[in-house]
Every structure is written in C-alpha cells, then in structure tokens.
Structure 1
Amino acid sequence: MENVSAVTSFILTAYTELEDHRYLYFICFLILYILTLLVNLVLIVVTCTEKGLHEPMYLFICNLSVNEVCGSTVLLPSMLSICYLIIMKYLFFCLLEIYCLMSYALVEFTILAVMSYDRYVAICRPLHYHLLMSPRKVTAAIVLSWVVPSLFFALYFILTLQPSFCDRYIERIYCMNFELVKLSCFDTTIIRFVGPVLIIVCPSPQIVMILFSYAQILRICLSASKESQAKALQTCTPHLLSVINFSVGCLFEVIQGRFNMSHVPQKARIFLSLYILIIPPLFNPLIYGISIQAIKVQIFKLLSSKKRSETNAW
C-alpha cells in the first residue's frame, strides 16, 4: 500500500493495451474528434444563423450539439496524448475530468427528456403548442437542462469523494468517480450504497418524462389516421434513435463501473468506455441533419452559398 499523502496522481493502466499501435490510435482519435467537431459545429451554425430554425425543437437540438462538443472535448484531446504514452493524471485534472464527463451525461439525458416533452406537446396538444412552448418557457427549460444536472452531480460528487487514496492505478482510459472510491483508504460502505441510489434517482425524472411523452404519443397515434401516424413517426424517429443510442452508452458505463469486467478483453472494455463519448456526439447531428428536412435544406443552402462565394473569389 502506498503512502496516503503521496498519492496525488493516478496512472491509467488501460492505455498500456494501446502501446503497440499508439500512432494508429492517435490518428483514429484525431479523425473522430475532428469529425465530431465538424458535424456538430455545422448544425450549431445553421441553427443559430437561420431564423427559420429558431423553433423549440431546433433550439433543443442545437443545445444537444453544444453539449456533445463539450463532452468530446473533455476526453478526446487528452486521449491524443497516448501517442507519447502520457498515462498519468494529477488529482485535480482527474477530478475535473470526472465532473465534466458526468455533467455531460446528465445534461445530455435531460435535454433528450425535454425534447421528448416537446414532441408530446407538438403531437398531442398542437393547439396549445405555442402557449406551452413559449419562448420564455423554452429558455427556462434550456437553462434548467444545463444548471440542474450540473448542480445535482456536484452534490453527488461531494458526498462520494474521498480526499485520501491508497493506490494510484485505474484500469480505465479516463477517471471515474467510483474508481476513485475504490482506491480510498477509508471505509466506503456508505458511499458504495449512496452511489447506486443516486445513479437510479438522478435520471428518474428524465426517464419518467420520456416514457410519459411517448406513451401519450403512442395513444394518440393508435387512434389517428395513417397519414398522421407516418408524420408522427417521422418526427419522433430521430429523437428515439438519440435516446436509445445514448442509453446504450450509459448502460455500458454503468456495467463497467459496477461489475467485474475482468473476463472481457481490455480492448473491448476500452470500446465500451468510449461509446458514450464518441458514438452519440458523432451520429446525433447526422441523424438530425439527414432526417429533419428543414435542417437538411438549410445545411445544403449554407454549403452551396459557401461554394458560390469560393467560386466568385476565383
């Protein structure tokens, strides 16, 4: 056991698995990060610059992309350091990484829940849509989607954090709160109980909102015409894909954090760890950009105008 006071940094042992092909992984991570930034920034720019997209649904999608850029930026640039095998992280940066990653996950799920409510109002209560989703209420929903999850996790973070550690080795590619708890020098029985309870309690309101919204949408669709059903399906499919995609990533993370995964190959565990920070941020903008006609039209308009300006410059 190491001296308690000496543990001020942690070694991420999962990176040693990537040592033999570190330059290949560097290129892969760099390409993934650039693509993630590119597709999300295009969606953000289009939404912000086009007044026709200043509607609640598009504003929520824009905030989703902003959060995904933040989440990817927390981790992927630091992973580029594996090219030089910089696998040590100081306590401060480890704690900062934990807070940012968990806040990203909670904010993402909260925005997805608000988006499900927006779809419920649009489909089930269309006559009251502009009243229930007024600019003031939409602004409040966006602010709360960012502030409440961050504050909630701050409370969880303070309750579960232990200041002294007896070991420095973390078998992951990034720091996680429960990994630090397992390295604590003190009795963590209460913390090990509080952690799972909070994991269940924290996303419960969002889960209830999503289930309620889609239960009501399904109820309305069952009694609607085929044309209305097709329109509702077209409207809800991108959001449902986003919810399922992100939920799968969260499930991978919970399973890895709470269960013994030593029987799973290390590279498979690395992929499971990266899923939540690569797949949703990369594919969500593509899903919305391809599926939603209004966004697709504006993206083509933006790209074509840029091409024309370059041609005129020549």
Structure 2
Amino acid sequence: MGNNTYFYFMLFENLGHIRYALFSLGFVLYCVIIILNILIILATFLERTLHQPMYILISCLSINSVYGTAAFFPRVLLDLLSDTHTIPYEACIIQSFVIFSYAANEFTTLMLMAFDRFVAISKPLRYHNIITLRVITVLIFVHWIFPMLCLGISGILTARLTMCGNKLWKVYCHNYEIVKLSCTNTISNNIWGFFILIITAVIPLCLILYSYVKILIICQRSSSQFRSKAYQTCIPHIVILLNFSIAIISEITLSRFLNLEMPTWLSVIFSLEFLVVPPILNPLVYALNFTDIRKKIICLIKW
C-alpha cells in the first residue's frame, strides 16, 4: 500500500447510539477547554500588572492547550458523527505532529516555570534582573521551536515509510502506531523517537525535579513566612506537573507495552488523559490559586 492513501480509525466502529452521548460529552469538554483557556489568555493580555514572567508562562500553557486540543477534538467529534472513519495519510501525520508537539511544549513550559520559581526563591533580590520579559520571551521561543523541529523531522521520517496496513487502533493519529504499520525498516524512526522522548520529556522532567528539590531545601532553611509564600506559588505548578507527568507516562506505557492487555475502553481513557485533563485542570488551578488572575477573569465574565 502506498503513502497516498487513508488510515481507518477502528475504535469508532460498532459504537451504535452511544456515539451521540460521546459526541455530546466531547463537545461540552471542548467548549469548557476553549472558554477557560481563552479567559486565562485574555486576562494576562489585557491586565498590565500580569505582564510578568510567571503569568506569561501560565498564559503559554493556555495557548498550548488551545493549540493541542484543536488538533484532536474537532476531528474526533467529526468521526463520532460520521459513518466513515478515515483520515488522509498527510492529515494523519500533521495531527500526530500537532498533538505530540503540544505534549513537548507542555513539558518545556513547566520546566521554564520551575526555573522561574527557582530563581525567584533562591535569588529574590536579583530576580527581576535575571528573569526579564526579554529573557523569558527568548526562552519560550527556543524551548518551543526546538522540540517542534525535532518532531517535524520525526514526521518526515514517518512520511517516507511504505505502509503495509491502514488500521489504527486509536482515536487519533499516533506516530508510533503509524510506524508499526510499516513494512520497511523502522530502526531510524525508533532511535529518533527515543531521542525525542529524552530531550522533550526525560531531560525537562529531571531539571524540573532538580529545581523543586533545591527550592524545598532553601525553604527548609528559611523562615516560616518565607516558606509559606514559596509554597503558595510552587504548589499549583507541582500539581500541574504531577498530573501531566502521570498522563504522559500512562500514554507512553500503554502505546508501547500494555495496549493489548487491558479493556479497550480503559486504554482509550488513559491514552486521552494528557489531551483532556490538563487543558481543563490548568486554568482552574491557576484561577483558583492566583488572586490577580481570578479578579481579572471575574471582571471579564461580568463584562
């Protein structure tokens, strides 16, 4: 089978009338995700007092959530209502790129947040000289573009493969699942995939853990007032980090090791967690824990 073909999403078959309930649930979730994250973005953009590195990084998470879910929800909602569940080869490659660049951008943004908090707590007097708007803009640009370039190369490597199958046992295009359908040598794809995993997930996660361990050590040596203030700004980031890390680990484990050893519906739920839960949880956590953001969002809602 050549590359100018279609893939079939097998999990949408034989859903019966339950697909309408799933469509309704998916539509509501997508609307909630868009509304919550747009409110965070508008609050940060319109309120000048929020033009600070920490709030800019929070808005970057929301921008990334809108970006990633736009590649998933419209497509899956269309498939739920359609009688044919196919996607062109090129569109599948693009969807896979967007979804996994979203995941990579999430990790790199969380890494920059950990670095921002580390500098703020370890060097409070020099913080505004070290973490300027120009510095944080450059860091965001570099740490978003580099993973996307790497994932772009991965997409090119996958596009060059000759397919011997066209059945995807996912509800979205997954690069590893596409590679498994190839009847040609995929060693280069697998090696590059592990390289991407290391630079976009393993290394950022290690740096994040290192930053928060150093923050914890500093807090233990400081006054109770300083410790309370530090915990207040760090705990929301840690909650977001734990949720996203668990979701990504579940997705990687399921797709590579356990996908055939558990019920299909449970596998689908775990594989979708990183696409559904963080985009909802992130704005809720930050809106509830940061007074400045919450006040501006309330003003926007009233307006």
Q: TM-score range by the shorter chain?
A: over 0.9
The CA deviation at 1:204 is 3.4
What's 1:249 paired with? Answer: 247
Q: Which has the larger radius of gyration?
A: 1
Matched-pair contact (CA < 8 Å) for 1:121–1:129:
yes
Tell me: CA distance 1:10–1:63, structure 2 relative to 1, closer, same or farther (3 Å): same
Matched residue pairs, number? 302
CA 1:17–1:67: 2 relative to 1, 3 Å: farther
Counterpart-to-counterpart distance in 2, 1:300 and 1:63: 20
CA distance in 2, matches of 1:181, 1:162: 10
Aligned-pair CA distance for 1:11: 0.5
Q: Does 1:72 align with 2:69?
A: yes
Which amino acid is the alignment partner of residue 62 of structure 1?
S
1:161–1:177 Cα contact (<8 Å) kept: no
Structure 1 counterpart SS, 2:8:
strand
Residue in 2 that maps onto 1:297: 295
Supply the AA of the counterpart residue of 1:243.
L
CA-to-partner distance for each residue in 1:235-275, whole Å, 9 max, x for gaps? 00111111111111111210122114222111111111211
Task: State the shift of 1:6 in Å.
Answer: 7.4
User: For 2:111 and 2:15, how far apart are their aligned partners in 1?
Assistant: 36
Corresponding position: 1:23 with 2:24: no
In the superposition, relative to structure 1, how do residues 225 and 30 fare at CA in structure 2: closer, same or farther (>3 Å)?
A: same
Q: Please say if residues 3 and 159 of structure 2, whose CA atoms lie closer than 8 Å, have aligned partners that are also in contact.
A: no
State the superposition RMSD in angstroms.
1.6
Give 1:159 shift.
3.8
1:47 to 44, 48, 67: 44
Are 1:156 and 2:154 an aligned pair? yes
Cα distance change, pair 145–191 in 1 and its aligned pair in 2 (3 A): closer
**Structure 1 position 15, deviation (Å):** 1.6
Alignment equivalent of 2:34, drawn from 32, 37, 44? 37
In the alignment, structure 2 segments of 5+ residues that lack a partner are: none
Question: TM-score, normalization: structure 2?
Answer: 0.94
Q: Which residue of 1 aligns with 2:175?
A: 177
1:124-166 CA deviation, whole Å, 9 max, x = no partner?
A: 1111111111121011112123211211212233345543101
Report the counterpart of residue 200 of structure 2 in structure 1. Answer: 202
Counterpart pick for 1:268 among 266, 287, 294: 266
C-alpha contact 2:23 2:77 (8 A) present in aligned 1? yes
Q: Secondary structure of 1:166's match?
A: coil
TM-score (norm 1): 0.91
Q: How does 1:181-196 map to 2 (within 5 A)?
A: 181-196=179-194
Please say which of residues 199-208 and 252-261 is displaced more in the overlay: 199-208
Separation in 2 of the partners of 1:134 and 1:17? 55
Residue in structure 2 matched with residue 234 of structure 1 by the alignment:
232
Unaligned runs of 5+ in 1: 307-314
